[in-house]
């Protein structure tokens, strides 16, 4: 994918600096009609920000850097709150140093160093968290009143350690990114198939500790299924998780590390279950005339337990916005009239189905899926629609850069819920966001898709866009108002506060509603067992501030 | 299945008293050649045992029975250690009373009663544990020196509470058995598809807290996948587990309840993910000339990720023994010569493949599976072999009764391991058991199958048979010697100590090797959070005796 070499990451936005997304003129016109003309705000310059960074407060160590740019580049993730801070240059406290261990033993040495220096530790994979997973509570406190913060980056712990080709078990340093991991496996005709939108930069360790889900998790499995075991270096000691294919030996400790978000220690190595690259891989696109028929179709696909690799259904609104952002208005218009005449109407939903496996089984699956979809008035789309999605799988976050430059803030959020309550929650979420800035007389454009379906329910993924305020505090206030309205809507409808992004600090206030008092107590006790002195990521996940 | 009505369970063996298995004469001859002639030992009479039961030491309560027969019938499970105790009448301590709550609130009332009476609590589902899950450490202590024991049977908490037909979520009282559960769902054209060999009597709650795996778990999912959420009544309070289809909200608390084996409290209600009964369900049988080719075939089936519902491969030795136990020697002999002439040789492995799903996809899957199996010299078997397996799916444990009556003790054990190490472990297990009584000049007949395959590895299930000693202590000593030899072999090869049976007390000494020091500490802390006074099942799972 060309991301293994010397990529310079944007310090205050998404991705590779050399990739500059463009928003087509007609898309800007579309957005202007929806929420008004964007009013771009000026970005802070990195040089100016670096001048404000105070000296780090940690002693020297061969594995540790106190370089101000290093520290600024590891201060924040990709939550919209992080973006507003970075773009405006008002990034608050920065960590005191960045460590880069190259082995599990060096991870342990770095933990010992942090403890003896009285520092708090923030593990850092790809820095792609969109839920505030990287800013520990300590960074909020006034300087002097808080202990020093050491970020531990896993970027040098990123190699393929062992590959057992008979069992398909591959052990990597936890800092390996998506492209590097798949390239290492492809050399052996194997693959993992974990492809979140952050894939280019997010890491295996990050996927595990946030319970990540990839675009084709229906076929290849969520991280819970792919993570076979590994080595966690905790302040209290080492936890080696064996890689049994399955086990009935009491509660599964892997499931404590999955979702631990840095609180139990640092996952240094992870073993994943890989598979032989399937002989057949394909995405097909279908248009369905309305949302109700679309949801029924995908629910029936899930209940039939067809071996699909992906099911992804956009609302008519998201379909329109996606097509506008894709540009090529004339060609898209012609194609849409073509599918419209075949029965998809003039405001359809886009449905994408992924297939992966043996050719014969995949073709039978496609046939059965087509039969189910046809009953809901689905119309096959020209191949260009599926190809466009495949070509742009990881492009969404780059558009966020371009839209920001045009004066628009973009954020996404997600949940999962049973099928019975899904339609009401999806509608309520879009409505809550659309109306979320009425008190400021600002409009919001929210749109949704279902990207992960299960027999009992579905994820709901919502994107929303609004105009930046002239001042960063104003933009931050708008974001908080929208995020709070959406989170409350999710909770009130009985959805989970996150299907795939995690808790971090942004979702922390809603966690106890799902876990219950006894569950929260158990999680706190487990954290105390692994990290008795409270070194790890205070505030993240549990909201405790020791 | 005819098991919903008034079934009388054997008090000292498996299953429905009215079902009496027979061992064909040629099978007895086969076993005699292998381990010598069985020497039956006399069974204790229930009436005699009841006369030795002392009065219970718990105060009266409307939900609680102190009837001696009730207490004897809830004292033990189906571990071979339990069998030897029950058959000989030397059953040690019996619990002091049996409670039968009919609602979650009554479960809580019973826990309060137990606490105020200073009793220890043993939750009881179907009583089918084969790993000593029902005898808490307290029952070993001399009478007087141990607190009273209250068994809490969930048999009256066994109804279908709610069924959401859109989402397929069904909530049952945790004491529902397999047949009752499937009958309730079948009325709505739905099914769970969880079919362990104990299915007729084991319960939903028991499946959850032991991480059970059914015969078709490859297709329908292990209990980890089927258990959506539920209500746990713990001494410290109530834990409600929400039923999200998937979630990234920190560590998954369901995964603490799964495998908790009664230590965290009593699972009163459980919600499961059901599916529409598939339009196509079938089992096909294939013979493969030898074990090496058989293992390669099933590994390739798993790596191809074919949507099979079941893959089950017997060694040549197990295949021979199964065919001998099936009787009908002439017909089987003719059929075996037929497949032998087609290339399966004269000592083949039996491979069973389960299909379930849409007809078109299932047929394509069968075709691809046949192609993979053919490369390993597989030969399709006459349909009678698959039909015989289907007819006898739950019959194995009944044979144990008949073999005991013929003087033979039978036990099973199981593990899971990656494909690379599976052949050596399977061979070593059979060898360790075969040679395990050499010091007594007794022979053992051990044989194996693979019943659950994964991309990264497989379960290994071993049955073993040996002659009873004239005295129960001798039989018990033989069993312990064999169980210990097998457990050590599993541990030394890197297998998990249980793939599907759980820990109980029989596997407890081996648990810390998998969980590690830090992991065991975390589990103890979680137990202490849910059960601060140590009411629940002391000794089980963690081996602690507070």
pLDDT exceeding 90 applies to what percent of chain A? 92
User: What whole-number distance in Å separates Cα of residue A493 and Cα of residue A40?
Assistant: 36
Question: Under a CB-based contact definition with an 8 Å cutoff, are residues B182 and B201 in contact?
Answer: no
Residue A396 pLDDT exceeds 60: yes
Whether A334 maps to a domain, the answer reads: yes
Q: What is the predicted pLDDT for the residue at A543?
A: 87
Domain finish residue from A153, A179, A206:
A153
Question: Under a CB-based contact definition with an 8 Å cutoff, are residues B175 and B125 in contact?
Answer: yes
pLDDT mean across residues, chain B? 95
Mean pLDDT (whole number) for B289-318:
97
Whether residue A198 sits in one domain with residue A130: no
Q: Tell me whether residue B33 is exposed, middle or buried, using C-beta atoms within 10 angstroms of its C-beta: 0 to 12, 13 to 18, 19 or more.
A: exposed
- The model's pLDDT over B108-135, given as tens digits with 9 standing for 90+, comes to 999 999 999 999 999 999 999 999 999 7
Domain finish residue from B366, B391, B416:
B391
* Confidence band, pLDDT 50/70/90 cuts, at residue B2: very low
Whether A501 maps to a domain, the answer reads: no
Chain B residues in contact with A242 (beta carbon < 8 A): 494, 496, 514
For B291, half-sphere exposure in the C-beta direction (CA atoms, 13 angstrom radius) is 16
Whether residue A184 sits in one domain with residue A147: no
User: What whole-number distance in Å separates Cα of residue A293 and Cα of residue A81?
Assistant: 36
Which residues are paired to B16 by β-bridges? B9
What is the distance in angstroms between the Cα of B480 and the nearest Cα belonging to chain A? 20
Whether B9 maps to a domain, the answer reads: no
Whether A229 maps to a domain, the answer reads: yes
Residue numbers of A between 409 and 468 with CB closer than 8 Å to B: 416-420, 452, 454-459
Residue A143 pLDDT exceeds 70: no
Q: What angle do CA B243, B248, B249 make, to 5 degrees?
A: 80
Q: Which domain holds residue B481?
A: 396-493
Whether residue A271 sits in one domain with residue A289: no
CATH number, residue A320 = 3.30.70.3450
ipTM of this predicted structure? 0.96
Of B305, B361, B499, the CB nearest to A368: B361
Determine the 3-state secondary structure of A74 from DSSP.
coil
Domain finish residue from B391, B424, B447:
B391
A411: its two tokens: 């954020």
User: What whole-number distance in Å separates Cα of residue B508 and Cα of residue A497?
Assistant: 37
Residue B1 pLDDT exceeds 80: no
User: What whole-number distance in Å separates Cα of residue A484 and Cα of residue B35?
Assistant: 71
Whether residue A232 sits in one domain with residue A315: no
Residue A22 pLDDT exceeds 50: yes
Mean pLDDT (whole number) for A250-256:
98
Whether residue A266 sits in one domain with residue A317: no
Q: Tell me whether residue B54 is exposed, middle or buried, using C-beta atoms within 10 angstroms of its C-beta: 0 to 12, 13 to 18, 19 or more.
A: exposed
* Confidence band, pLDDT 50/70/90 cuts, at residue B137: confident
| Interchain CB contact of A315 with B (< 8 Å) | no
Residue A2 pLDDT exceeds 50: no
CATH number, residue B438 = 3.40.462.40
Whether A437 maps to a domain, the answer reads: no
Chain A residues in contact with B417 (beta carbon < 8 A): 244-245
Among B207, B456, B499, B544, pick the best mutation site for testing chain A contact (most A Cβ within 10 A): B456
CATH number, residue A104 = 3.30.43.10
- The model's pLDDT over A145-180, given as tens digits with 9 standing for 90+, comes to 789 999 999 999 999 999 999 999 999 999 999 999
User: What whole-number distance in Å separates Cα of residue B206 and Cα of residue B35?
Assistant: 35
Q: What is the predicted pLDDT for the residue at B139?
A: 65
Residue numbers of B between 486 and 545 with CB closer than 8 Å to A: 494-503, 507, 511, 514-519, 521-523, 525-526, 528-530, 541-542
Whether residue A353 sits in one domain with residue A305: yes
Q: Do B419 and A167 touch (CB under 8 A)?
A: yes
Residue A129 pLDDT exceeds 60: yes
pLDDT exceeding 70 applies to what percent of chain A? 97
Q: What phi, psi does A84 have (nearest 5°)?
A: -60, -40
The DSSP code sequence of B145-197 is: SS--EEEEE-TTS-SEEEEETTTTEEEEETT-BHHHHHHHHHTTTEE-----T
Whether A370 maps to a domain, the answer reads: yes
Chain A residues in contact with B542 (beta carbon < 8 A): 250
What is the distance in angstroms between the Cα of B538 and the nearest Cα belonging to chain A? 14
Chain B residues in contact with A498 (beta carbon < 8 A): 247-249
Chain A residues in contact with B213 (beta carbon < 8 A): 246, 248
Whether residue B214 sits in one domain with residue B146: no
Whether residue B111 sits in one domain with residue B79: yes
Residue A18 pLDDT exceeds 90: yes
Q: Tell me whether residue B315 is exposed, middle or buried, using C-beta atoms within 10 angstroms of its C-beta: 0 to 12, 13 to 18, 19 or more.
A: buried
Q: Do B211 and A247 touch (CB under 8 A)?
A: yes
Whether residue A256 sits in one domain with residue A200: yes
Choose among B61, B57, B261: nearest CA to B139: B57
Whether B534 maps to a domain, the answer reads: no
Those residues with Cβ within 8 angstroms of residue B427's Cβ, 6 or more apart along the chain or in another chain? none
Among A456, A498, A539, A544, pick the best mutation site for testing chain B contact (most B Cβ within 10 A): A456
Cα A463 to Cα A410, A452, B132: the distances in Å are 7, 15, 53
Determine the 3-state secondary structure of A16 from DSSP.
strand
Question: Under a CB-based contact definition with an 8 Å cutoff, are residues A13 and A85 in contact?
Answer: no
Chain B residues in contact with A495 (beta carbon < 8 A): 244
Q: Do B224 and A360 touch (CB under 8 A)?
A: no
Chain B residues in contact with A169 (beta carbon < 8 A): 418, 456
Whether residue A258 sits in one domain with residue A213: yes
Q: What is the predicted pLDDT for the residue at A4?
A: 45
- The residue of chain A nearest to residue B223, with distances taken between CA atoms, is A248
| Interchain CB contact of A246 with B (< 8 Å) | yes
| Interchain CB contact of A245 with B (< 8 Å) | yes
Q: What is the predicted pLDDT for the residue at B3?
A: 43
Pairs of residues, one from chain A and one from chain B, whose beta carbons lie less than 8 Å apart: 316
Q: What is the predicted pLDDT for the residue at B405?
A: 97
Q: Which stretch of A1-15, A88-102, B417-431 has the lowest confidence by average pLDDT?
A: A1-15
pTM above 0.90, yes or no: yes
Q: Do B245 and A498 touch (CB under 8 A)?
A: no
Mean pLDDT (whole number) for B47-51:
97
* Confidence band, pLDDT 50/70/90 cuts, at residue A110: very high
Whether residue A193 sits in one domain with residue A220: yes
Chain B residues in contact with A496 (beta carbon < 8 A): 242, 244, 246-249
Q: Do A213 and B245 touch (CB under 8 A)?
A: no
Q: Which stretch of A193-207, B293-307, B486-500, B530-544 has the lowest confidence by average pLDDT?
A: B530-544
- The model's pLDDT over B381-406, given as tens digits with 9 standing for 90+, comes to 999 999 999 999 999 999 999 999 99
What is the distance in angstroms between the Cα of B185 and the nearest Cα belonging to chain A? 15
Those residues with Cβ within 8 angstroms of residue A336's Cβ, 6 or more apart along the chain or in another chain? A323, A346, A348
Residue A141 pLDDT exceeds 70: no
Mean pLDDT (whole number) for B271-299:
97
* Confidence band, pLDDT 50/70/90 cuts, at residue B234: very high
Residue numbers of B between 251 and 280 with CB closer than 8 Å to A: 251-253, 255-261, 273-276, 278
- The residue of chain A nearest to residue B512, with distances taken between CA atoms, is A249
Residue numbers of A between 316 and 355 with CB closer than 8 Å to B: none
Whether A179 maps to a domain, the answer reads: yes
Chain B residues in contact with A211 (beta carbon < 8 A): 247-249, 252
B332: its two tokens: 């089987």
Q: Do A246 and B212 touch (CB under 8 A)?
A: no
A154: its two tokens: 């896993």
Whether residue B225 sits in one domain with residue B300: no
Question: Under a CB-based contact definition with an 8 Å cutoff, are residues B211 and B221 in contact?
Answer: no
CATH number, residue A249 = 3.30.465.10
Count: domains in chain A: 3
């Amino acid at each position: 994918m060309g991301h293994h070499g010397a990529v310079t990451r944007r310090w205050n936005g998404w991705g590779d600096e050399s990739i500059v997304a463009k928003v087509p003129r007609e898309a800007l016109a579309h957005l202007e009609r929806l929420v008004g003309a964007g009013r771009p705000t000026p970005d802070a310059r990195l040089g100016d920000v670096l001048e404000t960074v105070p000296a780090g407060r940690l002693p020297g160590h061969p594995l540790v850097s106190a370089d101000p740019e290093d520290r600024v580049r590891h201060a924040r993730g990709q939550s919209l709150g992080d973006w507003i801070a970075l773009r405006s240059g008002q990034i608050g406290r920065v960590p005191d140093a960045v460590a880069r261990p190259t082995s599990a033993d060096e991870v342990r040495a770095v933990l010992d160093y942090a403890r003896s220096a009285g520092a708090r530790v923030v593990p850092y994979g790809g820095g792609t968290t969109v839920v505030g997973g990287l800013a520990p509570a300590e960074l909020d406190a006034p300087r002097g009143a808080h202990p020093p913060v050491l970020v531990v980056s896993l970027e040098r712990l990123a190699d393929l350690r062992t590959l057992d080709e008979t069992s398909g078990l591959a052990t990597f340093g936890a800092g390996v990114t998506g492209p590097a991991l798949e390239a290492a496996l492809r050399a052996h005709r194997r693959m993992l198939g974990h492809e979140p939108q952050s894939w280019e930069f997010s890491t295996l360790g990050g996927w595990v500790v946030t319970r990540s889900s990839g675009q084709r998790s229906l076929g290849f499995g969520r991280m819970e299924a792919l993570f076979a075991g590994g080595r966690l270096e905790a302040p209290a000691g080492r936890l080696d998780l064996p890689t049994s294919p399955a086990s009935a030996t009491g509660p599964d400790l892997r499931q404590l590390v999955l979702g631990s978000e840095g609180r139990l220690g640092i996952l240094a190595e992870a073993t994943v279950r890989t598979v032989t690259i399937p002989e057949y891989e394909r995405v097909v696109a279908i248009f369905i005339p309305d949302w109700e028929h679309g949801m029924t179709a995908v629910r029936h696909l899930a209940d039939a337990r067809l071996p699909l690799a992906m099911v992804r259904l956009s609302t008519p609104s998201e379909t329109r916005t996606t097509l506008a952002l894709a540009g090529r208005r004339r060609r898209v218009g012609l194609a849409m009239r073509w599918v419209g005449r075949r029965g998809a109407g003039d405001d359809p939903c886009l449905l994408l189905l992924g297939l992966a496996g043996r050719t014969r089984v995949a073709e039978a699956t496609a046939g059965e899926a087509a039969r189910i979809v046809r009953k809901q008035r689905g119309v096959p789309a020209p191949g260009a629609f599926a190809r466009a999605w495949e070509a742009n799988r990881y492009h969404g976050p780059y558009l966020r850069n371009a839209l920001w430059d045009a004066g628009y803030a973009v954020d996404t959020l997600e949940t999962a819920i049973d099928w019975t309550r899904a339609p009401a929650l999806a509608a309520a979420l879009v409505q809550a966001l659309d109306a979320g800035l009425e008190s400021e007389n600002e409009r919001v454009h929210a749109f949704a898709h279902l990207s992960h379906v299960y027999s009992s329910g579905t994820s709901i993924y919502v994107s929303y866009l609004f105009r930046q305020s002239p001042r960063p505090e104003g933009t931050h206030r708008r974001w908080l108002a929208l995020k709070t309205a959406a989170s409350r809507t999710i909770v009130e409808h009985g959805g989970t506060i996150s299907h795939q992004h995690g808790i971090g600090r942004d979702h922390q206030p809603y966690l106890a509603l799902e876990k219950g008092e006894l569950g929260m107590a158990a999680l706190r006790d487990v954290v105390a067992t692994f990290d008795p002195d409270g070194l790890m990521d205070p505030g993240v996940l549990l909201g405790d501030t020791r």
